[in-house]
Amino acid sequence: MGRKTLINVTLGTILMTAGFGAAWAVASDPPPDGETSSVAVRLYLTEGSLPTDDLNAAAWNSIQPSEFKLAPQVHWPDRIQEVTVKSVKVRGMHNGRDLAVMLEYDDPSEDVADAAALEFMVGDQKAHFAHGQGMLQVEGGPVNIWYWKKENGKATDMSAKGFKTLRAQERQDVSATGAWQDGTWRVVFSRPLQTGDEADVQITPGEWRNVAFAFWDGQLVDGVEKEKGSQKAVSSWWYIRAEPQPDNSIYGYVVLGIAIAAGFEFFLVRKIRKGNQA
């Protein structure tokens, strides 16, 4: 092994090990107030249908994205030391029934085998971001993966609980569409917030869930795909949260307060009038 390759492997391992440690820390507690833009995806509450087929809709461009760094997957062979996609910008919205998440990332070429994925913990059992593989004496838990590939232009709803367990679900609830322009991919995944499928992540407005990201550059190099299978760019676990409906109970208290004040004023005026008549 050459010196340069050895250095790359070492750095990649250190980076992913650090990310693994951060993953467990991040997955344990919701992000502090004021820091959600850097560690969480916010699904903004909107009305009406979601622009799942219009990747350049004004609604998408009005959302401030959260950006997440990526690194090579080094936990499972075959490994690579360099990946094309270094970071991803993520935007999200929901209308109380359905959700949509946009992934925006740089890729210098549009290739048939280009692909992207979202991964979620299912339930409350902690899982590693590498397909929920048990590690460091932690059993691990199930994960739900939404996978999109340029080749067929569709999303696949998948489940896993460790390496070599990735399977497409019998019931498919996820849709996706992608478009490449000027060296940038925009891919939008959409799905109902609640599916009723125990193998799926269920998104309840107001609750925090864990999410991770993965990307493949399908460019052909000497007739071979540059990244495929376990050769991919990945993130650690981060957060995703759908905005809850606004709490309008305060308006009820305001109305009640106005009614009490009006009643007191009426009582006071009446008493003063009686005093003047006496």
H or E element at residue 41: strand 40-45
Contact between 45 and 245 under an 8 Å Cβ cutoff? The reply is yes
Q: Which amino acid is at 186?
A: R
Tell me the two tokens of residue 202: 């269920």
Cβ atoms of residues 98 and 29 within 8 Å: no
Nearest CA-CA partner of 111 in 143, 71, 161, 149:
149
C-alpha 183/C-alpha 72 separation (Å) is 20
- Ranges 27-31, 126-130, 258-262: which has the least confidence: 27-31
- DSSP labels, 141-185: --EEEEEEETTTTEEEEEEESSTT--EE-SS---EEEEEEETTEE
Determine contact, residues 105/215, Cβ cutoff 8 Å.
yes
Per DSSP, 39 falls in state: H
Consecutive H or E run containing 22: helix 3-28
Q: Is there a contact between 143 and 132 (Cβ–Cβ < 8 Å)?
A: yes
pLDDT digit string, tens, across residues 251-263: 455 556 666 766 6
Least Cα distance to 66 among 116, 95, 104, 30 occurs for 104
From the CB of residue 86, how many other CB atoms can be counted at a distance below 10 Å? 13
Q: How far is CA 66 from CA 90, 163, 184, 190, 278, in A?
A: 5, 28, 16, 18, 72
Given the structure tokens 């290739």, which residue do they identify? 111
Per-residue model confidence (pLDDT) at position 15: 38
pTM: 0.79
- Per DSSP bridges, beta strands 154-160 and 224-225 are unpaired
Distance between CA atoms of residues 29 and 172, nearest Å: 30
Query: Are 158 and 214 in contact, with CB atoms under 8 Å apart?
Result: no
Tens-place pLDDT, residues 174-197: 999 999 999 999 999 999 999 999
Q: Mean pLDDT lowest for which of 28-42, 107-121, 181-195?
A: 28-42
Q: What is the pLDDT of residue 224?
A: 95
pLDDT band at 126 (very low <50, low <70, confident <90, very high): confident
